[in-house]
Amino acid sequence: MVTEKKRQWLEEGFLILSEEGAASLTIETLIGRLKVTKGAFYHHFKSWQDYKESLLSLYETERTLNTIEFAEQQLSPLDKFEYVMEKSIRRNQNLEVAVRAWALMEPFVHSYQQRIDQRRIDYLEEMMFLLYRDRERARTMALIFYSLHVGSQQLLPPVKEQDLVKLYREVQKAFNIQASKKDE
């Protein structure tokens, strides 16, 4: 369980990553921005490694596991898919890009990113399989949608939200995946 104070440290870490990148994510930057002492940091975290593990664990939980959990509350596979697509479009893309860049520099972060990517692709595949009952097609569609998601973040400038929605819809049309009525 993350306490309110500990969460404040982690949220500040997300801000630093989003705004300045992994190179700026240090204890000194954190304590400077939060206007506290280094002792306060060690009151909440055993070590710098403990902080990074907590940060990445929260990132994984909030941006992947919770999304899947809420999607599972939807009635149909198409509603699940729509929910996941909506969440992926609406979240802070700068943080996604920053964590992915950090993963290229640090093997520990790479292992988290790899697990997150695999979990997301596997979930997309399961949704597509429920729609079409074809495992190979489901895997292909999952990879296409996830590649579109990740690739759209990596372009400079990143693809705008409304354009990403259009791209998703075009791919849905190509695969004959019906959009929900609210989007038509």
Summarised one tens digit per residue, pLDDT across range 86-142 is 999 999 899 999 999 999 999 999 999 999 999 999 999 999 999 989 999 999 999
Q: Please tell me the predicted confidence (pLDDT) of residue 175.
A: 84
Is the pLDDT score of 1 beyond 80? no
* Full-model pTM: 0.91
In the predicted structure, residue 152 carries a pLDDT above the cut 80: yes
> Backbone dihedral region of 26: left (phi > 0), alpha (psi from -120 to 50 degrees) or beta?
beta
- pLDDT confidence of residue 121: 98
What is the rounded average pLDDT of the residues 43-55?
Answer: 97
Q: Which residues lie closer than 8 Å to 82 by C-beta, 6 or more apart? A: 74, 179, 180, 183
Q: What does pLDDT average to over the chain?
A: 93
- The span from the CA of 83 to the CA of 119, in Å, is 16
For residue 184, the model assigns a pLDDT of 41
Question: Is the pLDDT confidence value at 57 over 90?
Answer: yes
Write down the pLDDT at residue 179: 55
What CATH fold (topology level) applies to the domain 4-183? Tetracycline Repressor; domain 2 (1.10.357)
- Residue 176 pLDDT > 90: no
Q: Is the pLDDT of residue 181 over 90?
A: no
The token pair at 163 is 């354009």
